[in-house]
Structure 1
Amino acid sequence: MGGMSDIDDDAGADARSPEEQADLDREARFRKLKAWYRTDRDASSAWRADARIDFDMVAGHQWASEDEAALREQGRPPITFNRVLPIIKAVAGAEVNARLDIQYLPREVGDAALNELLTEGSRYLADEAEAEDEESDAFVDTAICGMGWVEMRLDYETNPDGDYVEDRVNPLEMIWDASATKRNLVDARRLFRAKSMDMAEARGLFPDADPEDLDAAWAEDRDGEQHHQIQPDQKRSDRPGDVSDGTSRVTIVEATWWERKRVAIVTDPTTGESQEMEPAKADVLERRAAALGMQVDIRRITKRVYRRAFLGNTILKETPSPAGDRFAYACITGDRDQNRNSWFGIVRPMRDPQRFANKWLSQTLDMLNRQAKGGLLMEKTAVPDQAAFEASYGKPGAISWVTDGTLQSSRMKEKPLPVLPAGHYQLMEFAIGSIRDASGVNLELLGQKQNDQAGVLEYQRKQAAMTILASLFDSLRRARKHIGRVRLYMIQTFLSDGRLVRIMGEGVMRIVPMLRDKTAGDYDVVIDDAPSSPNQQQVVWQTFTSVLPIIKDMITPQVLLEVLPYSPFPDSFVAKMRELLAQPAQPSPEQQQHQQIAVQTALAKIQDMTAGANLKNAKAGREAGLTHHDTLDGFAKVAAMAAPPQAPAQAGFAA
């Protein structure tokens, strides 16, 4: 029976059409991707809960819901003095003032002249896409929750030829490989992005898909409650309206992963070029070459192949990765939580100090409200007229009459002033100071140091604060390398179609086309300080002005062309100066007259030298001719002497 079943299964498999087999493979791939997504989502659910708290802390929502409800029930104000936001803004400002630049260095000698086109073209595309702002926004996410994401893609909606686009991605939309442990998730095998959008937008992205399939309800994790049991034929109680309603919300999952694939590298014996092909085709080629007595160099290797798919209730679309052999998403990670295999930013250590500071401030205000703020304690018979006493007690210069013996018998005394518990202020100041201490950002970096101190000392303390944050900036540098490699691939593969880019070279702006033969080749991605970085400009300009008195005699227009971009002058002024310096200088009339005299003198000397040389050549030629004649004459005489004697000729006959 078992053997018959196997035979039937094999026969059924052989009877399937290619379309049916493709559908089965597609369904199997969908189940695999969905299982990966659920595993990775559940592994990072705790991180997403913490990330939401971190974003609330920065936005000023720093009280837990139960604590805020208890305070309001008691009539106490939930005071929030947000000291987390200035620290995050200080770190973000430090990144903006020290932005990095992506450069490409050639690996081959022949490509040395082309790296300028690639580097300047990359800057131009990044400037058009406002890439620096998006990367800075992702860096702020990293400082807050420990993870920042940047997407690199081509947009064909506004330009049929494709525009390069970089977008900051909400970290809460991203799901990453649960087994990835390295910084920036460089060892991740798969990435997911679950994005919520309107049904109308989903239909615009996938016009050929069935509207019933445009919702990955299985992917949602709303407040930690996974919707695993929603079937395609079931209605969603949390989403009013029909699926045809354009205002209803749906979830689309983008999956990117890599898988190993066996390929054969065949080297052409005539040209020496290598070509990649399927192993089966390589086997056929090898057999045919062997039959002809030829030897073909074939290497079989395993390579990574990156794929991308959009998931709803099924696979809506599947394509190769738009970034080639890399992910189209760049991740920036903060500090590692080893036990949870997750990442966190500088907000997490500031949570408790900020919350305790808020609680002590609220408690202080409550104690001040509950205690007396002036007034008297007195007996009813201590004054003859209570109304007159109350009216006169608060008036300056008025006399308040009391009954005889009231002051001596202590029948009236003042209420004690508010007294806070000992050490309360010290604890509150400690909590406020701990917010800054836990982040590693000092007063100098915040710009709040009010003591008079030397500028050198303040600069050194700012550098000390930047040293504490160095690991965060190192992750950004590593992410920009990934961005640079993806941008290089897109330039070489999709954007080298002759489009014009603006580049600056030797002080002159040029408009050049990006052609495929001008951008091909292998390049290394180097991250350097950008000339537009305010910190870099300030350091270079201060250093240059300090050594200017020493090297003033060596300053040339070429030196000024290189130094002007680092000056504090406006960009328009710098561009005009570079244009003027790049032009050849016009000589004055006196200089032109001197130049003409010098040219005429030089021409006269050249003519004299030419005439003298011609005379010498003629004389030498005449002497050489005489010498040659003497040589021939001597040779004739020697030949005549060596000849035998001849008989005298007969008269009347010619000799």
Structure 2
Amino acid sequence: MQTTTTPRATEELTDGRDEPITRDEFASIVRESLAQPPWRAQADMEADYADGNQLSTDLLRRMKEMGIPPAKENIIGPAIRAVCGFEAKTRTDWRVTPDGDPGGQDVADAANFKLNQAERHSKADRALSAAFKPACAVGIGWVEVSRSSNSLEYPYKCRYIHRNEIWWDMKAIEPDLSDARWLYRRRWISRTRAARMFPDHAIVIMNGADKWISEFGIQELEGGQSTGLHAAAEAHRAWTTVEDAYYNEENKTVCITELWYRRWVTTVMLKMTDGRAVKYDEANELHRAALALGRGKLVEELVPVVRRSYWMGPHCLFDGPSPYPHPHFPYVRVIAAQEDMTGIPFGLVRDMLFPQDNLNSTISKLRWGMSAVETIRTKGAVIMSDAQFRQMASRVDADFVLDPEAMEAGGKFERKRDFQLNAQQFQLMQDSRAAAAGVSGVTPSFQGQQGTATSGVQEQTQVEQSQVSLADLMDNFKDARAMVGEQLMALIIEDMGKEETVVVIEGDVLNAPRTVVLNKPEVDPITNIVLLSNDVQRTRLKVALEDVPSSSSFRAQQLNALSEAVKAAPPEIQQVVMPFMIDLMDLPRKKEVVEAIRKAQGQADPEAIRNQVKQELMYDLKERELTIKESESDARIKQLMAQAVQTGVQAAFSAMQAGAQVAQMPMIAPIADEIMKGAGYQRPTTGGDDPDFPTPDVTAAMNIKNPYIQGGGGAAATPEAEAEGAPPVRENTSPAFPPVPQEAEQGMQGMETPAVADNLPQ
């Protein structure tokens, strides 16, 4: 019978975005996981070695038969713990930065505060450290980033997930599994809890038979089985949690599979000119406006869509889209290294297994060789059975009773010890310890133990070499830590939405608290369109790691380096740096200490106050001195002006007196001319009368002797002349001084004057 099938090229491809996974697809995923290269059993054994369970059952049985005491010196565990301590020491916080958006710094600061708060309350650091340990030991660990199902708890939760619960598409190439087709997690939970989680399928869950699990083949998945390793001969470990839940029917547990898968669908994307890309929505007015204005273009792309489903054996309990806004699976992988051909993860323990086994065997043989005794005896030489003799021979206080008859007949009995191989066994033991440090790169100096270094420089060099050997492991862990931060950031942004949110960024020792308002509606004054200021949904943010660790040990190193740097600095520089040094200290009340220091810095010491007062007084005195000098200068100018006026007035008055004298006695004019020439007066070049010396039209002087003789006095005034008002003879005729009256003036009436000459025209 022939069957015809329609070629796939002619089949119409469905969108697949809302297409749930089928039972056959889920079965193919399970079969693919079963066909993956086996590595989980080996990883379980390596984890047991790291935990100290290093002696197998067969080895213990053979050692017991040979009389060799079991011995174990765990060198793997301290090495793994040292690497985990290095991770805790170099741990860095998340930092949110605006990804190419110059105006998004306030949004980034507010989101950074919310993310750091979520880091503390969601136990992200604890979950990452718990996942780092198995990643370091066996190669892989997982961290779940999800929302809390209990509203009384913090909204977000980060948890460590055991490697045997997670199965993923090992054909994926990207480190963040962004191209993985599927990932599922298996958990055994009680039927009652499962029935309440999925009430629509409660009947199937409560009444389902146990046989369908074995029929579906899920229990045959690798991992979760006993390794057969023990910590000692008496520590029997015959079952694990998975085996107990599977074999014990009294627990009433069922296996729930949480499947995450991707559907690749064709999507029309709107790519903006500034680099943004969003899914195009034709009903969105802003999208249409961006196209109309030429600010974006439509591109058809093949993008993945994440979906989630729950299965109980062959029964699908739920199937729907991912409840998270990011395009990743909510399980972050922390991986150390992978095989090149198979992609199998492995860690540091793989190469340390042989040195560990060799060390344990060497210690056992060395102890056995030191206590073993070589005996030579003839049959019947001792009076005891062979078993009693062998047990007594190795004792230090051995007591042998010999048969006298056998010894007399040529019997022989010798007991001796051979210590020749002990030195070689001891050297082999030392080589095993060195080999473990060599293959792992974790030196004794890195573990805080005494190594081969003979100086501090060599010690530091060996520590740095160990850190270099862990570079790949630490880089992968940083990528995983950043991915956890991005997923937490996506949840925080989704919860903020478009609602106006006020974020109060708490201050620290150096920075004061401030408030940022997110999604604040504001009206554009030009278009009158309501826009959101500090829009969280539109701001492109990027989660990165800080450049320096935030651990207390690293802060102590920074404090020492900063102290050495400012030790020789001036006091004013030390005062400036002091708050930064306090911030690096592990003090319970650092903020109060810094505030007290800043207040103390504002109060200068007495010497500084005296110097400041002295400078202020000197400045005041100098200012007063300048003011006084300015006042003196003004007064001197006024004095000079007054003196000039006074001199002018006196000169004018003297000139008037001289003119009056010349007018009365013209014969003194030549003498006055000579006097003026002696004083430096020069006559004008032109001839004639000097215009500066006017000539009176009327002769005022009368009754003067002719000729006039100096000191002879004038002619005596006649009563007639005196009656006519002629001026009396004055003894003081100097032109520089006014005449001195000979008698007191008498009172006048009305417009009367003392003499007629007072009425002469001026």
Letter in 2 for 1:536: F
**Change in CA separation of 1:473 and 1:266 when aligned onto 2, cut-off 3 Å:** closer
Return the offset for 1:370. Answer: 4.7
**C-alpha contact (below 8 Å) 1:263/1:278 kept by paired residues:** no
Partner amino acid, structure 2, of 1:551: A
Q: Deviations over 1:128-165 (max 9, x none)?
A: 122112111111111111001111111140438x6221
- Asked if the contact 2:258/2:308 (under 8 Å) is kept, the reply is yes
Residue 212 (1) aligns with residue 212 (2): no
Q: Is the 8 A contact 1:507 1:561 kept in 2?
A: yes
Equivalent position SS for 2:39 = helix
* Counterpart position of 1:350: 352
Distance 1:367 1:267, change over 3 A: closer
Structure 1 letter corresponding to 2:300:
I
- Equivalent in 216, 233, 249 of residue 240 of structure 1: 249
Matched, 1:507 2:503: no
Q: How does 1:304-319 map to 2 (within 5 A)?
A: 304-312=304-312, 313-319=315-321
AA aligned opposite 2:218: E
3-state secondary structure, aligned to 1:322: coil
1:37 corresponds to 2:41: no
Q: CA deviation at 1:105?
A: 1.2
| Counterpart pick for 1:168 among 135, 139, 160 | 160
CA distance in 1, matches of 2:434, 2:547: 33
Check whether the contact 1:198–1:248 (CA below 8 A) recurs between aligned residues.
yes
Q: Assess, with a 3 A threshold, how the Cα gap between structure 1 residues 267 and 101 changes in structure 2: closer, same or farther.
A: closer
- Corresponding residue number in structure 1 for 2:259: 255
Tell me: CA distance 1:237–1:479, structure 2 relative to 1, closer, same or farther (3 Å): closer
Matching residue's letter, 1:471 = D
> What one-letter code is carried by the residue in structure 2 that aligns with 1:339?
M
The 1-side partners of 2:217 and 2:516 are apart by: 44
Residues 19-61 of structure 1, C-alpha deviation per residue, up to 9 Å, x if partnerless? xxx9x954x53432342233134315x1111111111111222
**Match of residue 131, structure 1, among 108, 121, 124:** 124
Once the 2 structures are TM-superposed, how far is the Cα of residue 500 of structure 1 from its aligned partner? 6.6
Superposed CA deviations along residues 535-570 of structure 1, whole A, max 9, x for unmatched, are 431332222122112434453766444443323xx3
Query: What amino acid does structure 2 have at the position aligned with 1:209?
Result: H
Instruction: Tell me how far 1:184 sits from its aligned partner.
Output: 5.2
Judge which range, 464-473 or 125-134, deviates more. 125-134
Question: CA 1:114–1:237 in structure 2 vs 1: closer, same or farther (change >3 Å)?
Answer: closer
**Whole-Å separation in 2 of the counterparts to 1:513 and 1:249:** 50
Give the count of matched residue pairs. Answer: 547
Query: Partner of 2:543 in structure 1?
Result: 525
- Assess, with a 3 A threshold, how the Cα gap between structure 1 residues 552 and 36 changes in structure 2: closer, same or farther: farther
**1:444-473, Cα deviation, whole Å (9 max, x unpaired):** 011111677333331221111111111110
1:140 matches 2:156: no
Match of 2:333 in 1: 331
Q: How does 1:579-598 map to 2 (within 5 A)?
A: 579-580=595-596, 587=603
**Matching residue of 1:540:** 558
Contact 1:264 1:298 (8 Å CA) reproduced: no
User: Hey, what's the Cα distance between the residues in 1 that align with 2:326 and 2:180?
Assistant: 16
Question: Aligned residue for 2:691?
Answer: none
Equivalent residue in structure 2 for 1:574, among 579, 587, 590: 590
> Deviations along 1:273-304, whole A, 9 cap, x unmatched?
9863479x89xx99xxx9xx999976142222
Instruction: Summarize the Cα distance change of 1:300–1:337 in structure 2 as closer, same or farther, 3 Å threshold.
Output: same
Q: How does 1:296-445 map to 2 (within 5 A)?
A: 299-302=298-301, 303-312=303-312, 313-368=315-370, 370-371=372-373, 415-419=415-419, 421=421, 423-445=424-446
Distance 1:159 1:558 in 2: 45
Q: C-alpha separation between the residues in 2 aligned to 1:294 and 1:451?
A: 72
Aligned mates of 1:275, 1:95 — CA distance in 2? 38
Matched, 1:47 2:56: no
Instruction: Pick closer, same or farther for the CA change 1:116–1:592 going to 2, 3 Å.
Output: farther
Query: C-alpha distance in 2, partners of 1:296/1:533?
Result: 46
After superposing the two structures, state which structure 1 stretch, 337-346 or 542-551, moved more.
Answer: 542-551
Distance 1:584 1:29 in 2: 74
Structure-to-structure mapping, 1:147-296, within 5 angstroms: 147-159=140-152, 163-183=155-175, 185=177, 187-213=179-205, 217=213, 218=216, 220-222=218-220, 224=222, 238-241=247-250, 247-265=251-269, 276-277=279-280
Q: Which has the higher helix share?
A: 1
Q: Deviations over 1:413-462 (max 9, x none)?
A: 76212446473333333223322222111110111116773333312211
Structure 2 unaligned blocks of 5 or more:
7-15, 225-244, 384-391, 398-403, 521-533, 628-762
> Residue in 2 aligned with 1:15?
none
Q: Do the aligned residues in 1 keep the contact of 2:559 with 2:584 (CA within 8 Å)? A: yes
Contact 2:376 2:415 in 1 (8 A): yes
CA distance, structure 2, for counterparts of residue 373 and residue 118 of structure 1: 80
In 2, distance between residues paired with 1:533 and 1:264?
Answer: 46
Alpha-carbon deviations, 1:368-417, whole Å to 9, x = none?
A: 55525999999789xxxxxxxx9xxx99xxxxxxx9xx99x998876212
In structure 2, C-alpha distance between the alignment counterparts of 1:130 and 1:225, rounded to whole Å = 28
Structure with higher Rg: it is 2
Give the deviation of 1:104 after TM superposition: 1.1
Match of 2:97 among 84, 94, 105: 105
Deviation at 1:180, TM superposition (A): 1.9
Distance across 2 between alignment mates of 1:583 and 1:256: 59
Distance 1:514 1:34, change over 3 A: farther
Length-normalised TM-score, structure 2 = 0.61
| CA deviations over 1:574-614 (Å, ceiling 9, x no partner) | 2332444566965479899989x989x99xx9xxx9xxxxx
Matches of 2:276 and 2:353, distance apart in 1 = 60
Residue aligned with 1:480, SS: helix
Partner SS state of residue 340, structure 1: coil
Where structure 1 has 5 or more consecutive residues not aligned to the other structure, the ranges are 7-21, 227-235, 242-246, 382-389, 396-402, 610-655
SS in 2 for 1:167: strand
Q: Residue 82 of structure 1 aligns to a residue in which SS?
A: coil
Change (3 A) 1:111 1:506: farther
- Greater shift, 572-581 or 494-503, is seen at 494-503
Aligned letter for 1:504?
G
1:447-458 aligned at under 5 Å gives the runs: 447-449=448-450, 453-458=454-459
TM-score, normalization: structure 1? Answer: 0.70
Assess if the C-alpha contact under 8 Å between 1:181 and 1:341 holds in 2: no
Identity of aligned residues (%): 18
Deviation at 1:98? 0.9
Measured after TM superposition, the shift of residue 478 of structure 1 is 0.9
1:85-129 superposed Cα distances (whole Å, 9 cap, x missing partner): 111111111111111221111121111233222222211111112
- Please say which of residues 510-519 and 456-465 is displaced more in the overlay: 510-519
Kept in 2, the 8 Å contact 1:350–1:439? The answer is yes
Aligned to 1:90: 82
> Is the Cα–Cα contact under 8 Å of residues 503 and 518 in structure 2 kept in the other structure?
no
